[in-house]
Chains A and B, each alone.
Chain A
Amino acid sequence: MGSTNSTLLKIPNVEVLMQETGFSPAHIIRLHDRFKALDKEGRGHLCPQDFGEIKELAMNPIGDRIIGAFFSPGKETVDFHTFVKILAHFRPVDKDRPKEPNSPEPINSRSNKLKFAFQLYDQDKDGKISRDELLKVLRAMLGMQVTEEQLESIADRTIQEADLDRDDAISFEEFRKSLEKVNIDHKMSIRFLR
């Protein structure tokens, strides 16, 4: 046990980080410890292999995509700030937050959570989930357990239902609309303990 202040001071720009993400000081420290534990060689940043070492993630069918979500296009490393910002998507929605019209939308808003999920599908980041991208995700989640035809029929049905402007792809708005009734806050949030 010890006081938290000095650990917080070691992290650069921690005030800004806390404000942007809404994490408490205790959470930041825990995440920092976790970051250090994952960064086995102590380089101060993480690379895809460090994530790959997490066994439960390696067993996750869409594990690679989740790892990819941490790395911006072209970047090979993740620093602590980006790490925390991505994880902030999964904070439960703050119900009592006063609505300030000029402040930017919080990272863990319903809309941003949906955007995170959307990018898991939309790997080429063109703003649309093409039939091909959908097939890839289905293949990842079902593996060799289903035939190609079954996959295609599932993909066709999904696009048929969600694609409102008939361009054979699902845009973010169509994605959002098809998931209107889903409790995003519950499904895409993690309970951080004190």
Chain B
Amino acid sequence: MGPFISPFNNLLCMLLGISFTVWFTLLLVFIIVPAVFGLSFGIRSLYMKTLLKVFKWATVRMERGAKEKNHLLYKPYSLNGIIAKEPTSLEEELKEIRRNGSGRELDGSASTTAGPSPSSSEFDMSDTFYFCRRGIESIVDDEVTKRFTAEELESWNLLTRSNYNFQHISSRLTVLWGLGVVIRYGFLLPLRLTLAITGVSLLVVFTTMIGFLPSGRVKNFLSEKVHLMCYRICVRALTAIITYHHSENKPKNGGICVANHTSPIDVIILASDGCYAMVGQIHGGLMGLIQKSMVKACPHVWFERSEVKDRHLVAKRLSDHVKDKSKLPILIFPEGTCINNTSVMMFKKGSFEIGSTVYPVAIKYDPRFGDAFWNSSKFGMVNYLLRMMSSWAIVCSVWYLPPMRRQEGEDAVQFANRVKAAIARQGGLVDLLWDGGLKRGKVKDTFKEEQQKLYSKILVGTQEDRSRS
């Protein structure tokens, strides 16, 4: 048995050795070296165009297949959802009810003073209809819950996770899907994992090494290069195809960079194009290791878990950092949580109180290639990263918006809303008043009070007029 196994073993080892070498050389030449220098071969754009053509074919095939079998195609949610909501407000509705007349006209003794006026706002039992209808509308389809589930797509991108009703439409399609699975999990995933591990380890090793240098221009220069290089490798590890717009507005030292938040990947996307000081809580494990080594090379703002609760401490540290012009701009995500990239939720005012220049950035992902939204209640971080690495690609656009400052007489909340509106407009996202914290918390009673105030103003306001006359 001995002599038979050994040449076979040798052959096997040789083959493995060769394939590994080839693999790593390709990796190095096509991916890592360009990443180091910030160049690109254009492979990813070509990849993207090919994928789009394949998706179009798949969609057409599915529609044809469904027609042949006389099945109703389940069209996913359009932006409007399941119902068309009436855009009328409380006041308009009540005026309309009054105008059309109610049973009160039967009883002539109702209005004693001025006679029956078309807009007299007395309570009518049909006033509840407005609230009732609004309530039922929100049960069927509400603005907030929609934002916290992944966006539905018009065409299928060969990932079962984005097709809620996967059916066997045609064997050609299933074969294509199967091929897609093999490519994604067999080829792309290992490739990306290798790159990710390379990128992260290089980051840790180099930043620790740079930490030994004395502070000065050399250290800053090297730290910048190292950070950029490692983030670029990570970007390729996710096959992220990013288009940056308006780079002349890139954040400068002493400023605060503000962006909408869809996933933890946002950080990598922004940091691969510029150097930022990160803000966040210190984690344990691998994350903590990365954080500790990063801070050796250049000053980031990491908080202990206990310090996060103390808003004054947080604000003080951030403003101290910002005042020092030699330090990098801070990167903050004011929504506080991941939103599904169809809207921008309320910005927390803390970062807008510090009083330095704010550089807004809008990030919009193209959902056709892979849904980047992190539904933290559904998936943990590791699960999420695996999903990201086994999607086709992450395609997104980043817009750098012109810097904004807080104006005279504007408080932090108004400033925050102004910035939010600018980001929403640029990214084509819906600007919502709702708090991202609603994902987990309960609605504050103040919202209900607002409704009550509005209604009472309509009713009681006129009663005061009547008593005056």
Contacts and interface: CB of A to CB of B under 8 A. Distances in A.
Interface of A: 1-7, 25-27, 29-31, 33-34, 37-38, 51, 53-63, 66, 87, 90, 116-117, 120-121, 137-138, 141-146, 150, 154, 157-158, 161-162, 170, 175, 177-184, 187-193
Nearest to A141: B455
24 contacts: A1-B163, A2-B74, A4-B72, A7-B165, A29-B74, A51-B139, A55-B144, A56-B143, A57-B135, A58-B448, A59-B451, A120-B128, A141-B455, A142-B460, A144-B449, A145-B460, A162-B103, A180-B103, A182-B100, A187-B130, A187-B133, A189-B133, A191-B86, A193-B78
Given A3-B66, A180-B103, A87 B131 contact: no
A56 B138 contact: yes
B72 A57 contact: no
9 smallest A-B Cβ distances: which pairs? A2-B165, A3-B71, A143-B452, A178-B103, A145-B456, A56-B138, A66-B135, A59-B447, A2-B167
B131 A1 contact: no
A191 B97 CA distance: 19
Contact of A193 (B84, B130, B155): B84
A142 B140 CA distance: 25
A34 to B, nearest CB: 6
B103 A7 contact: no
A81 to B, nearest CB: 16
A116 B133 CA distance: 11
Contacts of A117: 126, 128-129, 132
A1 B455 contact: no
A141 B169 CA distance: 52
Contacts of B182: none
B137 interface: yes
A141 B127 contact: yes
Nearest to B435: A55
A53 B142 CA distance: 11
Given A61-B131, A193-B80, A162 B167 contact: no
| Most-contacted residue by chain A among B101, B163, B456 (CB, 10 A) | B456
Interface in B235-263: none
Contact of A3 (B135, B142, B167, B443): B167
Interface string B444-461: 000111111101110110
A191 B131 contact: no
A26 B78 CA distance: 13
B352 interface: no
Interface string B65-101: 0100101111110101111101000000100010011
A1 B130 contact: no
Contact of A138 (B83, B102, B123, B138): B123
Contacts, number: 217
B135 A62 contact: yes
A57 B142 contact: yes
B292 interface: no
A142 to B, nearest CB: 5
B134 interface: yes
| Most-contacted residue by chain A among B93, B438, B452, B463 (CB, 10 A) | B452
Given A55-B434, A62-B135, A66-B139, A3 B73 contact: yes
Given A146-B460, A157-B122, A5 B140 contact: no
